[in-house]
Every structure is written in C-alpha cells, then in structure tokens.
Chains A and B, each alone.
Chain A
Amino acid sequence: MEEKLIKISDAAEILGVSVDTLRRWDENGKLTAIKKEGGTHRYYREKDIEIFASDLFKFASDWINQGEEFPSTFYCPTSAVFQARLVKMERLLMEKPGFEKLYSLIVLVAGEIGDNSFAHNLGKWPDTQGIFFGYDVKKGVIVLADRGLGILETLRRVRADLSTHVKAVEVAFTEFLSGRAPEKRGNGLKLVREVVLAQPIDLFFTSGDAEIYLKGANKSFRVTRGPNVVRGCMAKINF
C-alpha cells in the first residue's frame, strides 16, 4: 500500500511553522522532503512528520542554542498561556493509569520550572520572550526551555559572589534564596529537587554549563559541569 503523502502547506500547518522554514529544513537536511518523480513540489510522509514532531528535546535545544524555529504549538509567550497548557496536561496525566495521585507532583515540578522562567525574566528577556513547553503524556516526557538570563545571572543580582554556573544552579536547588530579592522567596526549585529525589520522576536540568541528572532508583543530587554552555535554562522530565 502506498504511504500517504502530505503537501508542504499541510505539513507546515501540522507543525505550526512556515512553508519557508520547511523548505529551509529540507535544504539543510533537518527534515527531508520527498519529491515525486520529475516534480519539484515537496511532500512529506505522515509518519516522518509524526516522528519529527515528537523529538521535543531537539526542538528545545536547537531553539535555545541556535535560535531555530520550532512548531508553534510548543511556544508559551506568556505565563497565562503556559498555565492554560499545563492544565490541559494535568487532565491528561490524571487519566493515565498509575498516575492518579502522582499527577499533581509532576504538574508541580513542570509548573515550578516553567514559572521560574517567567518570574525571573519578566521585563528582562534578552531576545525572545516566553518558554518552550512540550509534552508527551503517553511516553512520559516533558521538555521546558527558555532563552532567558539563566540561573547564574539571575542569582548574581542577590549573590554577587557567585562565579560559576555550577555553584549558581546548586544554590538555586538547595538554598532558600530568591533571585527577586528583597522579596523573601525561592522555594520552588528546592521542592522540585525533593520531589524528584523521592518519587519515580527523572529530571535533567541545565543552565550555562551546569547540569543536573536525577535518574533511576538511587538518585543523588549533584551539579556537574557539562561540555556545552546553554543559553537560559532547559529541563527534561521523565516519568
């Protein structure tokens, strides 16, 4: 049976990007199109579009590192849009077998990480305002990312002695200190760490060159220096 082919305009609509972006992605090999024999029009296999759209981590990482465009369905320009999409995810999670109680902690973890991006970059976004928020409840993955100031620059405003991304991320996840001083704040990421350590939830978090991997049954909290310097913050939650 012949596979169903989708026209470029339809593929653009499904992915929420422009036709020009798809042409560019075809030229640079990011998402290769099919051309019928002798023709110049671009087509896509339905399955290819599905697989491409499911690589949430790649979209987020290409966006914060290279400013690459990504499907608009993952973009939350404001906190209100993020909140609305999070509520939608909450409903789906509640219906997932085995997550009848755990759902609220997963929503809490995603909500705190996303809200942090908005709270700390309000009025200070270096370029694109807002966050990437993608999830696949069936596969058990959530990806969040922002092109904001990052943890080090945010916390330096209240802790001028912080000099490395590793130390800054460690402080953010372990100390009751807010980047929005003099407000007495900053408990969200502490709770994220406690919840992830105690529950069957995995977390990868990165800002600058600092990385946190909390994975598997015997998790322990440690911030390490990774090979890449990431713009803003990026998190991947698995459950």
Chain B
Amino acid sequence: MKVKLEKFGTTLLSRELGSEAFKAFQPTLLELSPSDELEIDFSGVLTLSPSWADEFLSPLLERLGERLVLLPSDNLSVQATLKILQEANKRPFKFR
C-alpha cells in the first residue's frame, strides 16, 4: 500500500496536525494486510518538520517496523527530518 503524504497537506509542521493526521490515517492502516508493506511517498510535500513527522512516522515505525518503507525525496526538509528522527528513535527507517 502506498500513501502520499501530500494528501495531509504540503506544509507539514506542527505536532498537533501530525497527531491529527495519524488519527485520520487509522482506518486506512486497518486495511493493510499483515504481509503488505506501507510505502510513504513524499512527493509534493514542500516542508516536513520533525514535530509533524514524529507524530506520524515514529508511531508507524514502531507498529510496522520493516514493513514501513520510505520512498526517496530530494526535499531538504524531508531529508533533515528523517535523519533526526532516526537518531531520536535510535532506529533506522527502511528506504526504497
């Protein structure tokens, strides 16, 4: 299953909205079969902050582990945010 983050907005900044996005995503997450991977597509996102991403990607990583797969992005804020989240979680993301 692939999810385009831009569906949640193109400027993803606050903890509050990251947490809201994660809650809104729950019904879709239930449709993910136990063998399926969840791909995160960052295309179209203009700015991603560590606060937003920590509320959305960190719990997904905790729940799905290796089944969470991040697609490459050339956006500087996406790259910087993913780097710091891996340090904070002391756990690497799986990239495609």
Binding site for B on A (CB under 8 A): 79, 83, 86-87, 90, 94, 101-105, 107-108, 111-112, 115, 118-119, 176, 185-188, 190-191, 194-195
Contacts and interface: CB of A to CB of B under 8 A. Distances in A.
Given A187-B88, A190-B84, 5 more contacts: A83-B14, A107-B46, A108-B13, A111-B13, A187-B84
B17 A83 contact: yes
A108 B15 contact: no
Contacts of B87: 176, 187
Given A115-B15, A118-B14, A188 B75 contact: no
Interface string B32-70: 000000000000001111110010000000000000000
Contact of B84 (A105, A107, A185, A194): A194
25 contacts: A79-B16, A83-B11, A83-B13, A86-B13, A103-B47, A104-B46, A104-B77, A105-B76, A105-B77, A107-B11, A107-B77, A111-B13, A111-B14, A111-B47, A112-B13, A115-B15, A118-B16, A119-B14, A119-B15, A176-B87, A186-B88, A187-B84, A188-B50, A190-B84, A194-B80
Q: Size range of the interface on B? A: 20 to 34
Interface of B: 11, 13-17, 46-51, 54, 75-78, 80-81, 84-85, 87-88
A188 B15 CA distance: 10
A215 B50 CA distance: 23
Nearest to B78: A104
A190 B81 CA distance: 11
B76 A104 contact: yes
A90 B11 contact: yes
A54 B26 CA distance: 45
Nearest to A107: B47
A108 B14 contact: no
A112 B11 contact: no
A87 B11 contact: yes
